[in-house]
Amino acid sequence: MPELPEVETVREGLSRWVTNRRVEAVEVRHPRAIRRHLAGAEHFAAVLAGRTILAACRRGKYLWLPLDSGDAVIGHLGMSGQLLVRPAGTADEIHLRIRFTFDDGGPELRFVDQRTFGGLSVSEGGATLPSEIAHIARDPMDPEFSDAGFVAAVRRRRTEIKRALLDQTLISGVGNIYADEALWRARLHGARPTDALTGPAITRLLGHVRDVLGEALKQGGTSFDALYVNVNGESGYFDRELNVYGREGLPCRHCGALVRREAFMNRSSFSCPRCQPRPRTPAPG
């Protein structure tokens, strides 16, 4: 699943390539790609034709494109979605789902999604912030993110610290990979109870989250296969810098102990058994 750095990299590309361009036509090639737009494909295309894209914005892992009509296009990449900018006339991708053409005859915007878990929709009146994603917390790279508010909210929760990092109502944009990386840097096991952590410990962890996300942003995100790309189809390279995620059986770069993998919410968590010992008292279920 793409995380904040991957989605922010896409947003930056969209800002460069589609801002202040007027949509000429929209072609929906697969109904699942607009399944959240309940009015259907014809309505989706009709309300976008002739509209100018004013900006490219992000909240957590969601993107939105404000329009001059006051509406907005919301996008979520899902597991394999890509928003690509391609010269007009370029051969269609195998999994092309939606095509935007513009009245300047320039590059098209294409939504490509192999697994069709992502999608686009139109939010009426959602140019400033679509109501559909207003419940999602700000991310730690947002200048309006409240560190003190996050620390207090985490300490009130009776859960595990990794689950708190993945809770989009507390903090957005942090997924499995970067949570593991930040926890390794903080030398905290993901199962540590949140109500047992001190304020300074959570603040330090938040600093590591920011460091990991910032470093990944510089690299364009993490790519393990061809699915995670920017609008130009280029992969990120932060996977070469990962310290713990995906390194089961390899030496910890802190102490040399072998990295372990544990089951976590139908996924995997990676940690060092020496630097990140499991808590003796589990968090409340």
Residues forming the active site: 2-3, 61, 267
Helix or strand (DSSP H, E) at 200 = helix 199-219
Q: Please give the structure tokens belonging to residue 49.
A: 């034709």
What is the distance between the alpha carbons of residues 138 and 168, in angstroms, rounded to a whole number? 9
Residues in contact with 16: Cβ distance below 8 Å, sequence separation at least 6, in sequence order: none
* Radius of gyration, alpha carbons of the chain: 20
Q: Using alpha carbons, select from 137, 24, 35, 13 the residue that is nearest to residue 86.
A: 13
What is the distance between the alpha carbons of residues 187 and 274, in angstroms, rounded to a whole number? 9
The total of other beta-carbon atoms located within 10 Å of residue 217's CB is: 18
Q: Is 115 assigned a ligand-binding role in the annotation?
A: yes
- For the chain, first and last CA: distance in Å? 25
Question: Binding site membership for DNA: which residues?
Answer: 95, 115, 157
